Amino acid sequence: YMIDKGNHRHFMEKEIYEQPEVISHALGHYVNFIDNRVLPVSEVIDFAEVPSLAISACGTAYLAGLVGKYWFERYARLPVEIDVASEFRYREIPLTPQSAALFISQSGETADTLASLRYCKEHGLKIGAVVNTRESTIARESDAVFPIFAGPEIGVASTKAFTCQLAVLAALAIAAGKARGTISDAEEQAMVRSLAEMPRLMGQVLNSIQPKIEFLSRELSKCRDVLYLGRGTSFPLAMEGALKLKEISYIHAEGYAAGELKHGPIALIDENMPVIVIAPHDRFFDKTVSNMQEVAARGGRIILITDEKGAAASTLDTMHTLVLPSVDEIVAPMIFSLPVQLLAYHTAVHMGTDVDQPRNLAKSVTVE
């Protein structure tokens, strides 16, 4: 397998731009685009029968799992217990052996994630692994393996693995909803059709937002702190945005649930700290707009990442608005990941950091 950067300055950039292709490849293993149905997922994990699901992972994979929790609960009415693996493994969580557990890991070797897996196994749960590396320890020790087909990821900050994890989790949540009778055939087909459209839209976004991202990144590179806000599945995405930015640009960033703004971070708002709001025009949009008003009223500078419908609906005075195509709710986290990743990437490039090998971080953390 030849791995080079092609025409890109960094592996991270190459991996961001590879997403339409790899995600389409990944989806092809989980859905049938001819009849817009999900493919049968696993003979070992029977989503129709499990009373609950446990999910655990670290870093970016954990944030993918958090988006997955929203999907499994909403579409499959399946309660999800989720935690970062370093907590999960020690919490002495009461688990029922009839349940299943999902472990998400790009490398398949993260020590805490593996320990959480073994804990669940000892308690008799069926184990599923959402991994990029099928020969990994986590894959080997699992009952069912759900590969993400992202191809080798070299940049320490995860990008394409994240969106491929999301795509696989989306397909699994739809499959679970089907198995449990909580989504209809028509809903399944509508969601799969949206997923099928996604790679083309991702390509469109990647080809069009570069100039705006460049401009915003120059602004961000002058800042000491950045706050990211979102509701629903945009909340884990806000945390992912903050994680990416701090990892590679070393700018302090926090991701918060927009509704928690009042309970703390609002104290930090001033003209020096940009507030990046991730808000597709979904059922939370109006709530998030009122949070933005609270920010604006305190002189905060807002960078709004929304979609066409959101841009048309908002009359708010923002420092800048990035407009993405309007998509189905289940697709939004993948599409909105792109500006979030590119903002971190270009900010780091402006600051001259070692983008692919940020200080103190490792691609795979195999020690506790």
Residue carrying the six token digits 């390509």: 203
**66 lies in the site for ligand G6P, by CB under 6 A:** no
C-beta of 105 vs 314, nearer to ligand G6P: 105
Q: Is 244 a catalytic residue?
A: no
Whether the CB-CB separation of 19 and 163 falls below 8 Å is answered with: yes
Among 14, 16, 54, 59, binds ligand G6P (CB under 6 A): 59
Residues 6+ apart with CB under 8 A from 23: 160, 163, 164, 167, 198, 199, 202, 334
**86 lies in the site for ligand G6P, by CB under 6 A:** no
C-beta of 153 vs 329, nearer to ligand G6P: 153
Among 12, 53, 156, 340, binds ligand G6P (CB under 6 A): 156
**309 lies in the site for ligand G6P, by CB under 6 A:** no
| Closest separation in Å from C-beta 178 to ligand G6P | 27
Which has the closest alpha carbon to 304: 284, 322, 325, 327?
322
Mark 92-122 as b/e (b = at least 16 C-beta within 10 Å): ebebeeebbbbbbbbbbbbbbbbbbbebbee
d(CA 356, CA 361): 10
The stretch near ligand G6P (CB under 6 A) out of 116-124, 324-332, 344-352, 358-366 is: 358-366
C-beta of 105 vs 291, nearer to ligand G6P: 105
Q: Which of residues 87-126 bind ligand G6P (CB under 6 A)?
A: 105-107, 110, 113
d(CA 309, CA 183): 26
Among 60, 217, 288, 291, binds ligand G6P (CB under 6 A): 60
Size of the site for ligand G6P (CB under 6 A): 16
The radius of gyration of the chain from alpha carbons, rounded to an integer in Å, stands at 20
**320 lies in the site for ligand G6P, by CB under 6 A:** no
d(CA 156, CA 233): 24
3-state DSSP call for residue 10?
A: coil
Residue nearest to ligand G6P (CB): 59
**61 lies in the site for ligand G6P, by CB under 6 A:** yes
Q: Where along the sequence are the contacts to ligand G6P (CB under 6 A)?
A: 58-61, 105-107, 110, 113, 156-158, 361, 363-365
Residues with active-site annotation: 363
